[in-house]
Amino acid sequence: MSDDNYTKVLLDESEMPTQWYNIVPDLPEPPPPALHPGTHEPAGPEDFAPLFPMALIMQEVSQDRYIDIPGEVLDVFRLWRPSPLFRARRLEKLLDTPAKIFYKYEGVSPAGSHKPNTAVPQAYYNHMEGITKLTTETGAGQWGSSLAFATAQFGMECEVWQVAASYRAKPHRKTMMETWGATVHPSPSEVTEFGRSLLADNPDHPGSLGIAISEAVAEAVADPSVRYALGSVLNHVLMHQTIIGEEALIQLAKVGETPDVLVGCTGGGSNFGGLSFPFLREKMAGNMNPTIRCVEPAACPSLTKGEYRYDFGDTAGMTPLMKMHTLGHDFVPDEIHAGGLRYHGMAPLVSHIYELGLVEAISIPQIECFESAIKFARTEGIVPAPEPTHAIAAAIREALHAKETGEETVILTALCGHGHFDMAAYESYFGGSMVNYDLSDATLAAAMETVPVVNG
Amino acid sequence: MSDDNYTKVLLDESEMPTQWYNIVPDLPEPPPPALHPGTHEPAGPEDFAPLFPMALIMQEVSQDRYIDIPGEVLDVFRLWRPSPLFRARRLEKLLDTPAKIFYKYEGVSPAGSHKPNTAVPQAYYNHMEGITKLTTETGAGQWGSSLAFATAQFGMECEVWQVAASYRAKPHRKTMMETWGATVHPSPSEVTEFGRSLLADNPDHPGSLGIAISEAVAEAVADPSVRYALGSVLNHVLMHQTIIGEEALIQLAKVGETPDVLVGCTGGGSNFGGLSFPFLREKMAGNMNPTIRCVEPAACPSLTKGEYRYDFGDTAGMTPLMKMHTLGHDFVPDEIHAGGLRYHGMAPLVSHIYELGLVEAISIPQIECFESAIKFARTEGIVPAPEPTHAIAAAIREALHAKETGEETVILTALCGHGHFDMAAYESYFGGSMVNYDLSDATLAAAMETVPVVNG
């Protein structure tokens, strides 16, 4: 940098990482395998073949530390990557803290979040195996938008089942998906047998993420030229997101900084894994020693309150069983605005790493998150999506702690998306109708009763 | 650039221009002065003093070619500037054209458009003169958002009158302004006498930009610690936007390109002036010879169908008279989605330069603009705001012309904002309810009848 007073640390396109980092071979213990839902035996590639292309299944179980990012994927990434790393100088000043706050901003992608980092390679690998259409579900709309954008880049079709309540409340996300060429159905839909059966009972059915997954999966397995795509939780998805952390490592090195604390919001785990895994590699190698901390909503605290057990990834119980921190697969979180964090489980890889004691976890209630987001927006300009308000709240806690101790703590976080499609959440905050949900022990105990008992 | 296959041309913060360019002293003839609305004599600085701080009034009439950008303004600009210049390689491929299409993207600003480029210095100069609050009007919401963001950076208050119809139809823009700390009123409002009188007649009054200006101005002139801010049309606003063109000049030079054609959308003229004036300087100096072309909506074609006459800047006839291309100050354009281009007049400076034959102008109907935007979004990723769809449509026309002639035409345009708050426009396009409005001669003749007759 030619200027010590920098606000952003940018990388040239030629400095963009060309490999993803797979943390699995570096872990002191291998993560437990997924199990077949019927036999409870370890699931093999053939169990995933109707849903995913073989290239992604091989990445899911890969023992290679690094996997090359295909050139055609890098070409699409150049539309917004490398993403900027910001030093939050104006927020630091407001907080009057000696801490240095850095945030990696992923809202520069066309869809407005980190999700295209995996949507693009998923579309690419399917395209290379002759798949002409992808199906998926979407709740808040971030993932559906990202896959719609990604499939457009490879001339593929995209069919999205959007949870009916969200479809009706957020028509703009649907229109955005259509702008990129996707077909969007409210779920439950008339398209699938399952959807029709639910609509027959209740024509105004609000839908759920579990139902939408079931419809998207049913449509994919019915046609050999169609596959399904998932936006978080799985190993290969987290690996695709490691480009975030790899870039941040280069960017911090350019300004001579090393993080003391890294905080990231966790829903399914892909944003957190993407930012933190490359830093965890450096920590395990003894090159730095940051505290690495997951931040989850108090209403959906899978790491801090859930149990580490085998459970289904979906509500309907159709997926393989994964060992993870879970609140129970039919647990329905309260209606917090951070829709992307309302998942009953946690990525098996993040869960495993947490069990190994390599990362910490805290939960933060909704109102503190939005209070922090307002401080952030009024200083740094960007209006954050509800999900990363959790990371911002945690970063502000750290910065205020540094103010007490007088330490020049270097804090790193990821601002994984902007809030342009989430202004209703801010309206609820300003209108005074926002509430703090907290998961009660009784609710949790009831939800955990449905988790299957698996030996071992 | 270390890579000939670049997609973006980025500049380091240290390469950001530190001066604005004032084109006035370089023109072969000086632009005609503004006139006092009562006496029809040239208006002096004192006529503008109740509305604007002296620093901006002095910029409005400055004969200096370059004016330094204050350091505190540059510090805020670093939150998103320098903005990227993109080579639209994926769009070029879709069009199968030998042309090279470059677009300067201003949607990276917190408010999502080029408007903060002038909102920030306007807030700064007011702040430096002891002003504690700014008032303004907003239609679609882009300008109000930008001023809300800018005033937050200097600890000032901001009060915005949003046209009531827009206030009710676009609550998210209002919430965004509140997120940055602004107070937002629907206009007509109960706050001003004028507003109350209109509401007494019609409690559901939809409002208009002219009414909202009247309310914002009335509130500003009533309090010596309050001033008014305008987001386009005036000389100093266009000058603030020249940072766009200055950056683009540096960026194109980095990749060894010179534009053959420059197209920019024109509403009030600030986006067009900001991109084109530095290139016009180079053209007048004989350093390059691009065709420079304004693109306006067929529904509001002030340059291509309006008359070059003295007219009011606002609907109510409160402002000084400005010599400009006008459709008549009480002309109400059809409800095209590009709200930022629905202005009856054109910046006096752009009008003057057009009269001098230094730039060309065309108009394009709405549906061609959205067809072009869909092509753009599906290749380049970014979903454009309705205003720059006009520039994109013009760029695509040029690229297809180049395909016919086989020429490697270098096309430059500005993508002045993203469409995240304008998805209803795309919904109307996909839903088949979008129509092409065209200004009829009879409507124009009727609107022109209200333009005052001024000698000279």
CA distance, residue B353 to nearest chain A CA (Å)? 35
- Could you tell me which residues come within 8 angstroms of residue A82 by beta carbon, excluding any fewer than 6 positions away? A10, A11, A12, A13, A15, A16, A247, A251
Average pLDDT value over all residues in chain A: 95
- ipTM over 0.90? The verdict is yes
| A130-A132-A138 Cα angle (round to 5) | 130
> Is the Cβ pair B426, A75 closer than 8 Å?
no
Query: Within the 162-191 window of chain B, which residues sit less than 8 Å (CB to CB) from chain A?
Result: 171-172, 175-176, 178-181
What's the pLDDT score for residue A1?
43
Q: Is the CB of B223 inside 8 Å of chain A's CB atoms?
A: no
Read off the pLDDT of residues B400-453 as tens digits, 9 standing for 90 and up.
999 999 999 999 999 999 999 999 999 999 999 999 998 989 999 998 998 988
Write out the CATH class of domain B8-17+79-112+236-448: alpha beta
Q: Say yes or no for a CB contact (<8 Å) between B181 and A378.
A: yes
Residue B137: count of CB within 10 angstroms of its CB = 27
Radius of gyration of chain B (CA): 21
Note whether B8 contacts A: Cβ–Cβ < 8 A: yes
The backbone region for B351, taken as left when phi is positive above 0, alpha when psi lies in -120 to 50, beta otherwise, is alpha
The model's pLDDT over B219-231, given as tens digits with 9 standing for 90+, comes to 999 999 999 999 9
CA nearest neighbour of B113 among B378, B393, B414, B424: B414
How do residues A220-271 score in pLDDT, each as one tens digit? Answer: 999 999 999 999 999 999 999 999 999 999 999 999 999 999 999 999 999 9
Query: Do the domains at A8-17+79-112+236-448 and A26-66+115-233 have one common CATH topology?
Result: yes
B79 contacts in chain A (CB < 8 Å): 7-8, 86, 90, 380-381
Q: Which H or E element spans position B290? A: none
Residue B241 to residues A280, B118, B135, B157, B165, Cα–Cα distance (Å): 44, 6, 21, 23, 29
Among the four given CATH numbers 3.30.230.10, 3.40.47.10, 3.40.50.1100, 3.50.50.60, the one describing domain B26-66+115-233: 3.40.50.1100
pLDDT tens across A112-162, in order?
999 999 999 999 999 999 999 999 999 889 999 999 999 999 999 999 999
How confident is the model over A369-384, as a mean pLDDT?
A: 98
Confidence of residue B139 (pLDDT cuts 50, 70, 90): confident
A328: nearest Cα among A310, A340, A341: A310
> If pLDDT is split at 50, 70 and 90, which confidence band does B241 have?
very high
Per the document, the length of chain A is 456
Q: Beta-carbon neighbour count of residue A266 at 10 Å?
A: 34
A380 touches chain B (CB under 8 A): yes
Percent with pLDDT over 70 in chain A? 99
User: Which stretches of B335-438 are assigned E, i.e. beta strand?
Assistant: 360-364, 410-415
Q: Would an 8 Å CB–CB cutoff place A7 in contact with chain B?
A: yes
| CA angle (B79 as vertex; B78, B82 as ends), nearest 5 | 50
The average pLDDT across A267-289 equals 97
Whether pLDDT at A182 is above 80: yes
Strand order in the sheet with A261-265: A8-9, A85-87, A100-105, A410-415, A261-265, A291-297, A360-364
Phi-psi region of A186 (alpha: psi -120 to 50; beta: other; left: phi over 0): beta
pLDDT tens digit string along A213-234? 889 999 999 999 999 999 999 9
Give the distance between the most distant pair of CA atoms in chain B: 66
pLDDT surpassing 80 at residue B456:
no
Higher pLDDT pick, A139 / B185: B185
Whole-angstrom Cα Rg for chain A: 21
The answer to whether B187 and B212 have CB atoms below 8 angstroms apart is yes
Cβ–Cβ gap B380/A172 under 8 Å: no
Most A CBs within 10 A among B142, B418, B423, B429, hence the mutation to make, goes to B423
Instruction: Provide the residue count of chain B.
Output: 456
Interface-testing mutation among A383, A392, A421, A426, with chain B (most B C-beta atoms within 10 A) = A383
**What's the whole-number mean pLDDT along residues B307-326?**
90
One DSSP character per residue, A344-380 reads: SS--HHHHHHHHTTSSEEEEE-HHHHHHHHHHHHHHH
CA distance A236 to A232: 9
What is the mean pLDDT of the segment spanning B49-53? 93
Closest alpha carbon within chain A to B180 = A378
pLDDT top residue among A206 and A315: A206
Instruction: Tell me what pLDDT residue A450 has.
Output: 86
Contact A135, A219 (CB under 8 A): yes
- Relative to beta strand A291-297, strand A360-364 is parallel
What is the DSSP track for A372-426?
A: HHHHHHHHH---B-HHHHHHHHHHHHHHHHHHHHT---EEEEEE-BB-TT-HHHH
Q: Which residues pair with residue A104 across a beta bridge? A: A85, A414
Residue A61 structure tokens: 């179980």
Amino acid at residue number A419 = G
pLDDT in tens, A43-97: 989 989 999 999 999 999 999 999 999 999 999 999 999 999 999 999 999 999 9
How far is residue B174's CA from residue B163's CA, in Å, rounded to a whole number?
11
pLDDT recorded at residue A233: 93
Residue owning tokens 């499609």? A421
Instruction: Note whether B356 and B350 are within 8 A (CB).
Output: no
Strands A19-21 and A307-312: unpaired
Parallel, antiparallel, or unpaired: how do β-strands B321-326 and B307-312 relate? antiparallel
B residues 103-162 closer than 8 Å to A (CB): 108-110, 112, 149, 152-153
Tens digits of residue pLDDT in B167-177:
988 889 999 99
Distances (CA, A) of B133 to B77, B154, B181, B228: 21, 10, 12, 9
What pLDDT is attached to residue B1? 43
Cβ distance of A110 and B420 shorter than 8 Å: no
Nearest CA in chain A to B82: A8
- Pairing of the two strands B19-21 and B66-68: antiparallel
Domain ranges of chain A: 8-17+79-112+236-448, 26-66+115-233
Q: Which residue has the tokens 């530390």?
A: A65
> Residue holding tokens 């990604």?
A150
Q: What is the DSSP string of B183-238?
A: EEEEES-SSSHHHHHHHHH-TT----HHHHHHHHHHHHHT-TTEEE---SSSHHHH
User: How far separated are the first and last CA of chain B, in Å rounded?
Assistant: 53
pLDDT, position A391: 98
A343-to-A170, A234, B119, B410 alpha-carbon distances in Å: 20, 13, 41, 49
A2 falls in which pLDDT band (50, 70, 90)?
A: very low
pLDDT category, A26, cuts 50, 70, 90?
A: very high
